[in-house]
Amino acid sequence: MQYGICNLSIVPLRLEPRDPSEMVTQVLYGEHFKVLEERKKWSKIRLAFDKYEGWIDNKQYLEISEDQYKEFDQASPCLSGDLIEFISCNKDELMPIPLGASLSALDFLKHTYEGHKIANKQPKKHLVETALLYLNTPYLWGGKTNFGIDCSGFTQMVYKLNGYKLLRDASQQATQGEPLSFIEESEPGDLAFFDNEEGAIIHVGIMMKDNYIIHAHGKVRIDRIDHTGIYNAEKRTHTHNLRVIKRII
Query: Residue 164 contacts by C-beta under 8 Å, 6 or more apart in sequence?
Result: 121, 248, 249
User: What are phi and psi for residue 126, nearest 5 degrees?
Assistant: -75, -15
210 contact partners, CB below 8 Å, separation of at least 6: none
* CA gap 135, 215 in Å, rounded: 9
Q: How far apart are CA 8 and CA 102, in angstroms?
A: 11
Closest CA relative to residue 7, chosen from 52, 60, 86: 60
pTM for the predicted model, two decimal places:
0.96
Could you say which of 6, 32, 151, 217 is catalytic? 151
192-to-69, 175, 186, 234, 243 alpha-carbon distances in Å: 34, 12, 9, 21, 8
Euclidean distance between CA atoms 129 and 135, whole angstroms = 10
Contacts of 220 (CB under 8 A, 6+ apart): 131, 134, 135, 136, 137, 139, 149, 154, 214
pLDDT tens across the length of the chain (249 residues): 899 999 999 999 999 999 999 999 999 999 999 999 999 999 999 999 999 999 999 999 999 999 999 999 999 999 999 999 999 987 789 999 999 999 999 999 999 999 999 998 999 999 999 999 999 999 999 999 999 999 999 999 999 999 999 999 999 999 999 999 889 999 999 999 999 999 999 999 999 999 999 999 999 999 999 999 999 989 899 999 999 999 999
The number of beta carbons lying within 10 Å of the beta carbon of residue 105 is 23
Catalytic residue among 32, 215, 217, 240: 215
What pLDDT sits at residue 215? 98
Please, how many CA atoms are within 13 Å of residue 52, restricted to the half-sphere of its CB? 28
Q: What is the pLDDT of residue 240?
A: 97
Residue 32 a catalytic site member: no
Helical H segments across 60-214, by residue range: 66-74, 106-109, 126-132, 151-161, 170-173
- Residue-level pLDDT at 1: 80
Angle at 60 between CA 134 and CA 80, to 5 degrees: 35
Spot the catalytic one: 32, 111, 203, 217.
203
Judge whether 215 counts as a catalytic residue: yes
Please indicate whether residue 111 is annotated as part of the active site. no
pLDDT at 89: 86
Residue 90: what pLDDT? 78
d(C-alpha 213, C-alpha 228), whole Å: 13
- Distance in angstroms (rounded) separating the CA atoms of residues 40 and 60: 13
Distance CA 12, CA 133 (A): 22
